[in-house]
Amino acid sequence: MKYIVQVCLLLVATTFVNAADPVPVMPVPVMPVPVIFDTDMADDCDDAGALAILNELADRGEAKLLAVITNRADAAGLSAAACDVINTFYGRGDVPIATDKDGAKVSWNHPSSYTPALAKEFPHDYPNDQQCTDALRLYRETLAAAEDHSVVICSVGALSNLEDLLNSSADQHSPLSGEELIRAKVKQTVIMGGHFPRSAKPETNLRLDPAAAVSVTNRWPGEIIWQGYEVGAALRCGTSLQACGADNPVRRAFELRPYLGGAAIDHGKPAHDQAAVLLAVRGVQDEYWTISPPGRVIIDSDGHSEWRSDSKKRHRYVTIKGRPDSLEKLIDNLMVRNQVTE
């Protein structure tokens, strides 16, 4: 007994000595977050800024860009080409890109201010959107090939593709239904859309395809983090691209996108989609975000959105913590290619 007590005392003493020593902090290797980016790369240039950030985070080893899928028919038919231009600039010209052929269900006939110039002036190897791989096919192929419960979907446009995925059946890529595939492979879904806690008018990404928005909101079989219109509207980003060279296609997109009587690059513009990809890859960082308790988003047939608290549901929405300055700085820094060598 005496021996056991002595050993215990020795252990306690050793523990205290060790606790007083400086503990070397070893860097914890971070696995890159596998992301599918679902974008309407056509109207606003924040999609271009968001794809730049995804590539930058991939350069830093934080993200793995599995696929880019477009969700709105760009009148110029060059959404996929513009995405490939940006990926190629970052050395990822082999990331697969697919397009939704009917785009969002509400037609959007404005020609893009920047996709034609990007496709013409920068290297890429994608054809017109109509000739690209189908969105649903690439969604199912990518998810089927992924590790279980690993994929983060970041949706920054209409919800048409997510509805198609949800309604899909077994195919050559997977015997699972769309719902089963999402349940098996998707870890997290981040949606830029809506306006919380209640929208005064329908938000663009929801009103482009309200039926898809309702369907995804009511039936998605996993957690959704919502980032409403009000988040990006509080951020002004893009002026950092003024320092980039003429070879940077994201700079070009911001030069060409009109905003407030000038161009987006002049004074920056709201950064909805850049904030969403940050949430997708880095999660809800305490430094920048406050997140709601669980609840559910209600969307009506016009695309209005409303938040309801409900501890049994799996939706949450974010708000910016404090002033938006630090988040703006982070986004502006990450949109510029930093050429990190890992």
Provide the binding-site residues for Ca ion, judged by CB under 5 A.
40, 47, 84, 93, 125, 156-157, 273
* Other beta carbons less than 10 A from residue 336's beta carbon: 18
> Closer to Ca ion at the Cβ: 125 or 310?
125
> Closer to Ca ion at the Cβ: 40 or 209?
40
Q: How far is the CB of 341 from Ca ion (least distance, A)?
A: 22
> Closer to Ca ion at the Cβ: 118 or 176?
118
Query: Cα–chain-centroid distance for residue 227?
Result: 10
Q: What is the end-to-end Cα distance of the chain in Å, rounded?
A: 56
Strand runs labelled E in the chain: 33-39, 63-70, 97-99, 151-156, 186-192, 224-227, 258-259, 262-263, 289-291, 295-299, 305-309, 315-320
How far is it, in rounded angstroms, from Cα 95 to Cα 103?
21
Q: How far is the CB of 152 from Ca ion (least distance, A)?
A: 17
> Closer to Ca ion at the Cβ: 45 or 176?
45
Query: Cα–chain-centroid distance for residue 255?
Result: 23
Cis peptide before 34 (omega within 30 of 0): no
> Closer to Ca ion at the Cβ: 82 or 181?
82
CB 104 within 8 A of CB 42: no
Q: How far is the CB of 43 from Ca ion (least distance, A)?
A: 7
> Closer to Ca ion at the Cβ: 174 or 305?
305
> Closer to Ca ion at the Cβ: 40 or 163?
40
Q: How far is the CB of 157 from Ca ion (least distance, A)?
A: 4
CB 131 within 8 A of CB 167: no
Listing DSSP states for 289-301 in one string gives EEEPPSEEEEE-T
Listing DSSP states for 72-111 in one string gives S--TTS-HHHHHHHHHHHTT-TTS-EEE-TT-SSS---PP
Q: How far is the CB of 83 from Ca ion (least distance, A)?
A: 9
Q: How far is the CB of 136 from Ca ion (least distance, A)?
A: 19
How far is it, in rounded angstroms, from Cα 176 to Cα 52?
33
Q: How far is the CB of 39 from Ca ion (least distance, A)?
A: 6
> Closer to Ca ion at the Cβ: 51 or 136?
51
Q: How far is the CB of 156 from Ca ion (least distance, A)?
A: 4
Q: Which residues of 98-107 are buried (b: 16+ CB within 10 A; e: fewer)?
A: bbbeebbeee
Q: In the 8-state DSSP scheme, what is residue 198? A: B
